[in-house]
Structure 1
Amino acid sequence: MFIQTEQTPNADSLKFVPGVPVMKQGTAEFLDSRSAMTSPLAKALFQIDGVRHIFYGPDFITISKDEDAEWQLLKPDIYASIMDFFSSGQAILQEGVQRPSDTEIHSDDPEAVQMIKELLDTRIRPSIQDDGGDIEYRGFVDGVVKLKLKGSCRGCDSSIVTLKNGIENMLVHYIPEVQSVEQEIDEDETVAQKEFEKLEKKLGEQK
C-alpha cells in the first residue's frame, strides 16, 4: 500500500490518502480516544503521542496534531497504523455505527431545505473535502443555515472565511430564503466556539 499525504489549509492537519475507500457512506470524526472506541483504526491512531483529532472521508483520513508536535516524528507511526489496519481486513467502524448522510433529501423537506442539501452535497462538500475537511448540515431556521465544520476545517482560521465568504455567498445567491450561515458547536466545544466568534468578529470588521 502506498499512502499519499496532502497539505490542508490547516498547518496542524494532514490528509492521508491510502488509495482505497475509507468510508462507504457519510463521514466520521473522532475528537478523543473515548469516541474512537467505535473504530479500530482511530483507536490505534490515538495511541500515537501528538494525535489530536481524526476524520474519515470517502477516500482519505485527515489527522490533526497538537500544535507543538512535529509531523516528521508522527508520520512513520501514522503510516504504520494505517497500513496495519487496511491489511487486517477489519471494518472501519463497528457494525451498527455507520453514519447516515446528513444531506439526504427527505420527502417532507421544504423546497428550500432540499435546495440547500443539494448545493451542499454537489457544489460545496467536494471542494471542502479536497482540503481534508467536511461540513455537516444541522438545520435551517429563520433564514439561517446551521452547519458544523469538521476535519481540517476545525480550528482553522481560513475555514471561517470559507464559511462566511464562500458557503454563505453561494447559498444566499441561489436560494432567496437563505439570509446567512452559522457554525453550530456542540456543548463539548465551547472553547472552540469562543475562538470562532472572536475570529468571525474580526472578519466582519475587515469587510
Structure 2
Amino acid sequence: MGLAADRGPAYKATRNLEATMTDQIRITAQPDTNPNRFQFLVDRDVWSEHILFVDRANAEKGSPLALKLFDLSGVVRVEFHGRQVLVTQDGNADWTILAKEVGGVVREHIGAGETVVVEGFEPDLTDEEKLRIKVQVVVDKEINPGIAMHGGFVTILDVQGQKVFIKMGGGCQGCGSADVTLKQGVERMIRDNVPEVEAVLDSTDHASGLNPYYQPGAAPM
C-alpha cells in the first residue's frame, strides 16, 4: 500500500486540493486537531479584521462566500481569520471530496473579486452564541493543540445559559483520565479565559471510545 493511502483521508484531501491549484491563487488545505474541521490557507488576506464565525443565517446577511460554502453538502460552520478559511462539517462528509469543493469555491470567489464579507457586517448573535465564540477560541488555540499529542480533541456541542457542553473525541473518548482532563485541564482553561462560564459539562459517550489514550482504570496517578 502506498504512503498516501497509509496517511488516510486527510492526507488525500490535502494532496487532491494541491493538485488543482492555479498560478493565480494558491490554497493549502490541512486537517485540524478536530477531524470535522479543515483549515484552508490562502496566499492573500481573506478577512483582515477579527476572527469571524459565520452560520448559515448570518451568511445570508453578510458573507456571500460563506453562503456559497454552506451550499456544499455537510458544511455547518465557516470561519474567516486573516488568510485562513476554516470549515467545519457535520461528520458525514468525505474530506477527500469536500476539501476539493471548498478550495474550488474559495478560489473562484476570490479570483472573481467578489465580496467575502459585506462592509460593516457584524453577525447578529445571541448572548449564548457570543459566549460560544469566546470558548471556541480557547478550544482552538489552547486546548486542542495540547491534547492533540494524545490523539484527542474537544468539540463544543452546545451552550445553554452560562453552561458549556462539550464532547471529547479521539484518544480522549473512553480515556481513563478523561475526568482529570476535564476538571484540571479543559474546564480550568475555559473558565480562566472566559470567566462568565459557570460550568463545563462532558457529554461524551466514553463507553464507546475505540482508542483511548489511557484505558479505563489505567490512568496515571
- The structure with the largest alpha-carbon Rg is 2
Structure 2: 5+ residue runs without aligned partners?
A: 1-24, 124-133, 149-153, 155-161, 173-177, 208-218
- Equivalent AA in structure 2 for residue 28 of structure 1: L
Residue matched to 2:49: 25
Q: Distance in 1 between matches of 2:65 and 2:49?
A: 17
Q: Deviations over 1:95-138 (max 9, x none)?
A: 22157xxxxxxxxxxxxxxxxx9xxx9x997557989x9xxxxx
Residue matched to 1:189: none
The TM-score normalised by the length of structure 2 is 0.51
Q: 1:69 to 1:169 in 2, by over 3 A?
A: closer
Contact 1:124-1:167 at 8 Å conserved across structures: no
- Equivalent AA in structure 2 for residue 87 of structure 1: G
Q: 1:34 to 1:166 in 2, by over 3 A?
A: closer
- Equivalent AA in structure 1 for residue 92 of structure 2: D
Q: What pairs up with 1:95-134 in 2 under 5 angstroms? A: 95-98=119-122
Residue matched to 2:93: 69
Contact 1:30-1:36 at 8 Å conserved across structures: yes
Aligned-pair CA distance for 1:94: 1.0
3-state SS in 2 of match to 1:26: strand
Q: Which among 104, 107, 111 is matched to residue 87 of structure 1?
A: 111
Q: 2:16 matched to 1:16?
A: no
Aligned-pair CA distance for 1:76: 2.1
Structure 1: 5+ residue runs without aligned partners?
A: 100-116, 134-145, 184-195
Q: 2:57 matched to 1:34?
A: yes
Q: 2:189 matched to 1:165?
A: no
Aligned-pair CA distance for 1:57: 2.0
The TM-score normalised by the length of structure 1 is 0.53
Higher relative contact order (CA 8 A, sep 6+): 1
Residue matched to 1:198: 203
Q: Distance in 1 between matches of 2:35 and 2:196?
A: 32
Q: Distance in 2 between matches of 1:125 and 1:7?
A: 13
Aligned-pair CA distance for 1:70: 0.5
Contact 1:9-1:156 at 8 Å conserved across structures: no
Q: Distance in 1 between matches of 2:77 and 2:183?
A: 21
What's the RMSD between the two structures over aligned residues? 4.6
Q: Distance in 1 between matches of 2:140 and 2:34?
A: 17
Q: 1:198 to 1:85 in 2, by over 3 A?
A: same
